[in-house]
Amino acid sequence: MALTACTSSPTGRSQLLMFSSQDMAQLGAQSFDQMKQEEKISRDRKINAYVQCVADSITRHVGPLPGFTEWEVVVFDSDQVNAFALPGGKIGVYTGLLDVAQTPDQLASVIGHEIGHVIAEHSNERLSRSQLAGAGMQIASIAIGGSDYSQYQDIAMASLGLGVQFGVLMPYGRAQESESDIIGVQLMNQAGYDPRESINLWYNMAQQSKGQPPEFMSTHPSHDTRIADLQSEITRLPVSSSATPNCRRP
């Protein structure tokens, strides 16, 4: 039922992955459906077009991933400063994020970073080695249709990092954050965005956190060397052959 495989992440870290990519994709899709039922979806055409445009410009540069063929992007109407991407190619952006990610390049840096978590199978990794591993067996059986998803909804969503609204915080680890940063700026660069804007995004996040810290920073903890690490990765990037995508912020 569950697969155990020791593999290598995109940046060469060794990873223990207990679940198949297909099962994780199905779990992501089911959790995303649940969120769409429970949370308010933005019907603002201009905002949706803008977020979709930026997301498309990034996903275009992601090769095929197991378990799904199309990326789906949903804008949630909420003041939360947050965004996520789930296995199965599901991307959620909260309208509150657009006050912090103020330009297309900055929005691309969040989306690129989130997609980095999907590409590098961080949910699978987290679920595989977390205290939720026992529940993981149940989750695997949901994924193959053997159990009722609603019974395990909270734990399934927590394993994907979506537990905030249920009072459970499941932040990613430092190694995973760094890896997503690297994948994110590489994608930004390939797509024709300015990768240096990822640094400005983090400054904006930090500014915002003088009051209540943005939700995004709770699930994506920063660390001392984050900016320096980003800077050194950015200097290693090749010159991009892509023109800047023409996504207009409304």
| Cβ-closest position to Zn ion | 220
The interface region with Zn ion, picked from 8-16, 145-153, 180-188, 224-232 by CB under 5 A, is: 180-188
Nearer to Zn ion, 58 or 143 (CB): 58
Report the alpha-carbon distance of residue 39 to residue 160 in Å, rounded.
17
Strands 90-94 and 72-76 turn out to be parallel
Q: Is residue 220 part of the contact set for Zn ion (CB under 5 A)?
A: yes
Binding range to Zn ion, per CB under 5 A, among 54-62, 65-73, 89-97, 178-186? 178-186
> Which residues share a beta bridge with 135?
none
Stretch binding Zn ion (CB under 5 A), from 9-17, 27-35, 176-184, 224-232: 176-184
The minimum distance between CB 42 and Zn ion, in angstroms, equals 22
DSSP-derived secondary structure for 106-132: HHHHHHHHHHHHHHTTHHHHHHHHSTT
Instruction: Specify the DSSP class assigned to residue 222.
Output: -
Shortest separation between residue 204's beta carbon and Zn ion, angstroms: 16
Instruction: Pick between residue 96 and residue 152 the one whose CB is nearest to Zn ion.
Output: 96
User: Cβ atoms within 10 A of the Cβ of 239, count?
Assistant: 5
DSSP helix/strand/coil, 200: helix
- How far is residue 139's CA from residue 127's CA, in Å, rounded to a whole number? 10
Subset of residues 155 to 174 that bind Zn ion, contact rule: CB under 5 A: none
**180 is a site residue for Zn ion (CB under 5 A):** yes
How many residues are recorded in the chain? 250
* Closer of 143 and 217 to Zn ion (Cβ): 217
- The packing angle between helices 104-119 and 122-129, to 10°, is 50
- For position 126 contacting Zn ion by CB under 5 A, the verdict is no
Nearest CA to 153 among 39, 32, 72, 41?
32
* Nearer residue to Zn ion within complex by CB, 1 or 169: 169
Q: Which is nearer to Zn ion, 152 or 179 (CB)?
A: 179
Q: How far is the CB of 180 from Zn ion (least distance, A)?
A: 5
* Selected range binding Zn ion among 81-89, 132-140, 202-210, 217-225, rule: CB under 5 A: 217-225
For the CB of residue 146, give the shortest distance to Zn ion in the complex, in Å.
31
Q: Work out whether 90 is an interface residue with Zn ion (CB under 5 A).
A: no
Dihedral over Cα of 216, 178, 116, 99: its sign: positive
Nearer to Zn ion, 46 or 174 (CB): 174
Cβ of residue 11: shortest distance to Zn ion, in angstroms? 14
In the DSSP assignment, the letter for residue 97 is G
Distance, first Cα to last Cα, the chain:
47
Which residues are at the interface with Zn ion (CB under 5 A)? 177, 180, 220
